Amino acid sequence: MSPEPTASRPGSTRTGPGRLLIAIYALFALAASARAGVQIATKFGNAPVAYLLSAFAAVVYIVATVTLAVGSPAARRIAVLSCSIELAGVLAVGTWSLADPATFPDATVWSGYGSGYGFVPLVLPVFGLLWLRRWSRRSGTRRTIVTSAGDAGDAAGDGADHGEGGRRGRGAEDVAADGRT
């Protein structure tokens, strides 16, 4: 049997719509980084809060892009965190920018809920979280059942040396196949 390419591996977020999601995140990472860099370098005194929030958004987009592209279980957990921070940021900054426009004399990526970018910053983390949820369901279909204290320690580990799923413990199907209880 020939091994499957990495991009189509069942544990990868880089397949199908995931590729488009990663491309959009990469585009936003580039745009937010360039915007924040220019704003901070040339006119920081005009709207420091807005420009620092743009820089923060750029960092969040970079982290989301990289972790979605890597697609490992640990990267997916970080991607969930970054998409969640992004969604909270868009909602908080969007509300703040409408409630106190004086704080935002110049727009950020997230001000007005991303209205300057066609509201993509508002919907992008939702799609990212839905995509990641799909992958967590796929990879979580076979859970480890802890049968001993030693297996509990293994199941609680990060899985770094136990392969993609991080499972070394004995699942119910392994115990049944062995004939041990």
Q: What local confidence, expressed as pLDDT, does residue 139 receive? A: 59
As a whole number, the mean pLDDT across the chain is 78
Q: How far apart are the first and last CA of the chain?
A: 33
The per-residue pLDDT for range 52-85, each reduced to its tens digit, is: 999 999 999 999 999 999 988 999 999 999 999 9
Report residue 5: phi and psi, to 5°. Answer: -65, 150
Average pLDDT over residues 11-30: 84
Of 3-17, 30-44, 94-108, 120-134, the poorest mean pLDDT is in: 3-17
Q: Looking at this protein, which amino acid is placed at residue 66?
A: V
3-state secondary structure the chain: CCCCCHHHCCCCCCCCHHHHHHHHHHHHHHHHHHHHHHHHHHHHHHCHHHHHHHHHHHHHHHHHHHHHHHCCHHHHHHHHHHHHHHHHHHHHHHHHHHHCHHHCCCCCCCHHHHHHHCCHHHHHHHHHHHHHHHHHHHHCCCCCCCCCHHHHHHHHCCCCCCCCCCCCCCCHHHHHHHCCC
Q: How far are the Cα atoms of 48, 60, 105 from residue 71, in angstroms, in the given order? A: 35, 16, 38
Domain layout of the chain by residue ranges: 11-139, 149-178
- What does the pLDDT look like over 87-135, one tens digit per residue? 999 999 999 999 999 888 888 889 999 998 999 999 999 999 999 988 6
Whole-model pTM: value is 0.69
